[in-house]
A and B are shown apart, each in its own frame.
Chain A
């Protein structure tokens, strides 16, 4: 009896998850259909660009700067111990440009923008504003989701570039404080960082932006009634976006390694 109950519960859970995935797929499909068939209006897009781009910038800059500084402070002693202190820039800057910049910008955006999107749309749902849109013959996905998706997708590469820039600057300031030669520091950094590294970081960020916007808007639309429902929607939006960023990051790294190997012939681990 216990076994039957357990199997039944697992079955129901799996069915529920599959159904949720299906609903998300339909939601994403509708969003992409509106994205390509109907030009979004500037008056809807402009406030979202401001919200996602300008208002997130200070947090992204602070995060990037401190990550670069901490990385420098941690790495300096290891490199100094083997007499290679001027090489520390290569490690810091490659890490920031390829991984930490895009991933941290994405995570900050998942927290700030993703949570806010889910809470805003969730509140609109529970106060019947989404029903009001439908009642007036407008599509809520076209009117609410498409501009938020475009804004997040377009702004995240710029935020990533800012995050990279201040991360590199923060790392340099710490290393400079330890007395490392500036010329050698930048020379070794330039030797290691390639345009492809910068491109791959920025490219990754666009996928993160798309995932954050889609997941957060979906969670907002699925919000249950009341303050608790809206709060849970915001929480789920952040957690799901966070996990999506890490999973996407892994697969994009595999893909980009393969692409690099194809173009420049460097052997990769997986491909």
Chain B
């Protein structure tokens, strides 16, 4: 699929772009998703919340076809991608950019080569144009002048920013963020949140962020979805999540494992 085709096929703002339909997923007897149905709408930033091990990262990998559901269907922009072969998934995946939890930069390539990777693989562009795009994307994440550095020379926050620049290099329709602020100090984490907002604003993409960082969720999310034991227990705006009376939601939001239902109602 050419980049132009991708643009013409983009659904209008607010339409569902990704749909998980009655999805079940199990790892070695541990059920991660139980009949999960969830839609993500275009041009919005949806944050999926939940404790570690609830399956947030698994959800992103299911959407990209890196993992297959045990049951259920996964739709991307009207295409059922559940049973697609690896080769057929490639054009679907090019509609996405993914920022991995540990950045997952190719450690044998420089920053420039990491960001230019998809451009070189999938588009026959002249080197000067690739240089220009790489420069633009690095400027978007405030990392001009780092082109020749290797990933081992970058701090954790810089790696995440290069990961973000690499994810947006092909101007994807959807950006998936896997724990973008995990392991960072509060100031660097806030810088990453600003980058996410900037990408959303300037590139007009759909964003799906999985995190357990409530500060990040409140800052970047138009819609917050909370998962618990494989099912959705809350879905709404930041204010709706804040005022949700479910004790499991409030324990997570407030970071208080001993919070009782009585304390919430008082």
Residues of A at the B interface (CB closer than 8 Å) are: 47, 124, 127-129, 131-139
CB of A52 to closest CB in B, whole Å: 15
- Nearest residue in A to B118 (C-beta to C-beta)? A136
Docked pose: A136 CA to B93 CA in angstroms: 6
At the interface, is chain A mostly helix, strand, loop or mixed? helix
Beyond A127-B102, A129-B105, 17 extra complex contacts between A and B, CB < 8 Å: A47-B108, A124-B107, A128-B100, A128-B101, A131-B61, A131-B100, A131-B104, A132-B100, A134-B64, A136-B93, A136-B94, A136-B98, A136-B121, A138-B90, A138-B117, A138-B121, A139-B87
> CA separation between A39 and B89, bound complex, in Å?
21
Give the complex CA separation of A133 and B89 in angstroms. Answer: 13
Give the 10 A-B residue pairs with the shortest CB-CB distance, closest first: A132-B104, A137-B90, A128-B104, A137-B94, A137-B93, A135-B98, A136-B118, A128-B100, A129-B104, A138-B121
Q: Say yes or no: A129-B118 contact (C-beta < 8 A), given A135-B93, A135-B96.
A: no
What are 27 A-to-B residue pairs whose CB atoms are below 8 Å?
A128-B101, A128-B104, A129-B104, A129-B105, A131-B61, A131-B66, A131-B104, A132-B98, A132-B100, A132-B104, A132-B105, A134-B93, A135-B66, A135-B93, A135-B96, A135-B98, A136-B93, A136-B98, A136-B117, A136-B118, A136-B121, A137-B89, A137-B94, A137-B118, A137-B122, A139-B87, A139-B90
Known contacts A137-B118, A137-B122, A138-B121, A132 near B94 by CB under 8 Å: no
The count of A-to-B residue pairs whose CB atoms sit within 8 angstroms is 54
Report the nearest B residue to A135, measured CB to CB: B98
Residues of B within 8 A of A47 (CB): 108
Chain A residue at minimal CB-CB distance from B122: A137
Bound CA–CA A124/B105 (angstroms) = 9
Residues of A within 8 A of B93 (CB): 134-137
Residues of chain A within 8 A of B96, CB atoms compared: 135
- Measured between beta carbons, the chain B residues less than 8 angstroms from A129 are 104-107
Nearest opposing residue in chain B for A129, CB measure: B104
Q: Is the CB of B102 within 8 A of A128?
A: yes
User: Nearest residue in B to A140 (C-beta to C-beta)?
Assistant: B86
- Assembly CA distance A133 to B106 (angstroms): 9
Judge whether B104 and A137 touch: CB under 8 Å. no
In angstroms, Cα B107 to Cα A134, docked, is: 16
- Residue in B66, B106, B122 whose CB lies within 8 Å of A134: B66
Docked pose: A139 CA to B117 CA in angstroms: 13
Question: Cα distance A133–B90 when bound, in Å?
Answer: 10
Task: Output the nearest chain A residue to B91 by Cβ-Cβ distance.
Answer: A137
Complex Cα gap A78–B101 (Å) = 66
Are the CB atoms of B118 and A132 closer together than 8 Å?
Answer: no
B89 → A minimal CB distance (Å): 8
Residues of A within 8 Å of B91, CB to CB, are 137
Complex interface: chain B residues within 8 A of A138 (CB): 90, 117-118, 121
Q: Which of B61, B108, B121, B122 is the most central at the interface, judged by chain A CB atoms within 10 Å of its CB?
A: B121
Q: Which B residue sits closest to A138, measured CB to CB? A: B121
A46 CB, nearest partner CB in chain B, Å: 12
Q: Report Cα–Cα, A127/B66, bound state, in Å.
A: 15
CA distance A126 to B64 in the complex (A): 18
What CA separation (Å) do A134 and B60 show in the bound complex?
13
> B residues 129-145 with Cβ under 8 Å of A?
none
Compute how far the CA of A135 lies from the CA of B87 in the bound complex, rounded to whole angstroms. Answer: 12
Mask, B113-125, CB within 8 Å of A = 1, is: 0000110011000
Nearest to A128 among chain B residues (CB) is: B104
Docked Cα-Cα span, A132 to B101, in Å, equals: 11
